Structure 1
Amino acid sequence: MVAAEPADTGTDAEIGRSMRSTWLSDLLRERIVAGRYQPGERIREADLRSEFGFSNGPIREALQAIVADGLAERNPWQGIRIRTLGPSQIVELFQVRTALLEYAAELAARRCTSETIESAAQLKVSLDEAFESLQSEEGHPSFDGRLSRWLLAAANNDSLRVVWDKTMLQTLFYVRVSLIRSRGVESRKLIHELIDRICARQPAEARSTARRLTQQTLADLGIAGDV
């Protein structure tokens, strides 16, 4: 049984509400990316109140946050539903993902440091462990954004970070589905190649590999489109 929400007062109440809404919005994002909520599925406030014991305020703020992220949409008389994209919309979204990934890869290759190269070896090991989980029928990838963090650190561009998170978040569900369907066979090779190109300080080759990686994701989804 979920414990009842603590009765806060004054400033403490505002802090507690903010913490609860932030925690819940993060959890909802994780569930959407992991496929716990499917496209078109409705998220009911009553279900969240029953599960977590939160009041309406934090729940509505958390739901509004995932709407703002582009992960869900609010429809009149239907509440909040997970956003459903058609093939052409997915292609458009991945066109933006490709542009960001290419630029990040190029910057990372141009600005590659000894620290970037040193951390790449451990990154490959941890990614390989995640890919190994895909080889079983019930395997689920758990990459935790580690490739993105490494890439953004190497690119060292604060403006890129600002636009990166929202776009990548909207694509993660589809990336996950593609990896599960394909067991990540080709994507694994391309990610290794991308890391190697960056560490070799080859900007043009890194851009090309980044584009091929996105194309592979769409191919594994069974979606035809030009990115």
Structure 2
Amino acid sequence: MENVAAPSDTGALETPSLVDLAVARLRADILSGGTEPGERLVEEQLTRRFGISRAPLREALRLLAQQGLVDHFPRRGARVATLTDADLQQLYGVRDLLERYAVEQAFPIDDPRRLVALHAELDAMRAADEVGDRFAMAEAHRRFHVALVALASNRQLAWVHESVLVKTQLYMAINLRREADTGHGTHNVLRHQRLYDAVAGRDPETVLSELAAHGARQYIS
């Protein structure tokens, strides 16, 4: 949902707009666990922090609201979005259905080159875990599941799936922070290694079994 800057007269892309930069900064804060669900987003503080006026900041908040990361309340401003336990159960249920359907549509996978993106995100997760970068871990986790569903070559499925992932990542940011604080980030990498191995093994039944035991519901208390 990022805006693409218009080309200049020379054909080169312009510097990303203030709105784009504000979206990127706020999104990173929210999805890395740097802000808590329900935390108020104070315009005066954010304009000073980013060195921008209220207009681009409000547009950035509007775009983040479209992504499900920010809630707006009349006369009370904006807050980091919150999800109820029921919301999470429903989101993970939808994610499970979409990913199982994607696997059923994707197999057989006869060309190992189709797994390059999936393996790259597994490597990115491992690298993020080694340096304790929570946001990089969360982003690589999201991209891993995006790459998994992309194997189905279904653009509409991919679009719906990613919109669900962004919302679940909001909640997972809290848990990834806990994993980093307690040294459990490596467990997250190992779970995805097992899932990758199942995909590379070209056995859809094993992949579906791994997805069922993948641990999505460990994020729900």
CA distance in 2, matches of 1:141, 1:49: 23
Confirm or deny that 1:58 pairs with 2:52.
no
Name the structure 1 match of 2:197.
Answer: 196
SS of corresponding position for 2:151: helix
State the 1:58 CA deviation.
1.2
State the 1:34 CA deviation.
0.6
Q: Which runs of 5+ in 2 are unaligned?
A: 1-12
Deviation string, structure 1 residues 108-160 (Cα, Å, up to 9, x no partner): 443452213456555544332333345xxxx6362333413532443322112
Q: Which of residues 128, 134, 138 in structure 2 aligns to 1:140?
A: 134
Q: Which of residues 151, 154, 177 in structure 1 aligns to 2:151?
A: 154
**More displaced stretch, 187-196 vs 163-172:** 187-196
Name the structure 1 match of 2:210.
Answer: 209
SS of corresponding position for 1:61: helix
Name the structure 1 match of 2:174.
Answer: 177
Name the structure 1 match of 2:24.
Answer: 26
Change in CA separation of 1:25 and 1:121 when aligned onto 2, cut-off 3 Å = closer
State the 1:63 CA deviation.
0.4
Structure 2: which amino acid aligns with 1:47? Q
CA distance in 1, matches of 2:53, 2:162: 29
SS of corresponding position for 1:27: helix
Q: Does structure 1 retain, via aligned residues, the 8 Å contact 2:30–2:170?
A: yes
Q: Which of residues 79, 91, 94 in structure 2 aligns to 1:93?
A: 91
CA distance in 2, matches of 1:149, 1:112: 20
What's the TM-score, normalizing by structure 1?
0.75
CA distance in 2, matches of 1:38, 1:20: 24
CA distance in 2, matches of 1:207, 1:43: 40
CA distance in 2, matches of 1:127, 1:159: 26
Superposition CA RMSD, Å: 2.8
What's the TM-score, normalizing by structure 2?
0.77
**More displaced stretch, 31-40 vs 170-179:** 170-179
Equivalenced residues, count: 202
Name the structure 2 match of 1:166.
Answer: 163
Query: Which structure has the larger Rg?
Result: 1
Change in CA separation of 1:181 and 1:80 when aligned onto 2, cut-off 3 Å = same
State the 1:186 CA deviation.
4.3
Q: Does structure 1 retain, via aligned residues, the 8 Å contact 2:119–2:196?
A: no
Structure 2: which amino acid aligns with 1:89? D
Deviation string, structure 1 residues 194-225 (Cα, Å, up to 9, x no partner): 11121122222212212321xx2432x352xx
Name the structure 2 match of 1:76.
Answer: 74
SS of corresponding position for 2:78: strand
Structure 2: which amino acid aligns with 1:218? R
Same amino acid, percent of matched pairs: 26
Name the structure 1 match of 2:9.
Answer: none
CA distance in 1, matches of 2:20, 2:186: 36
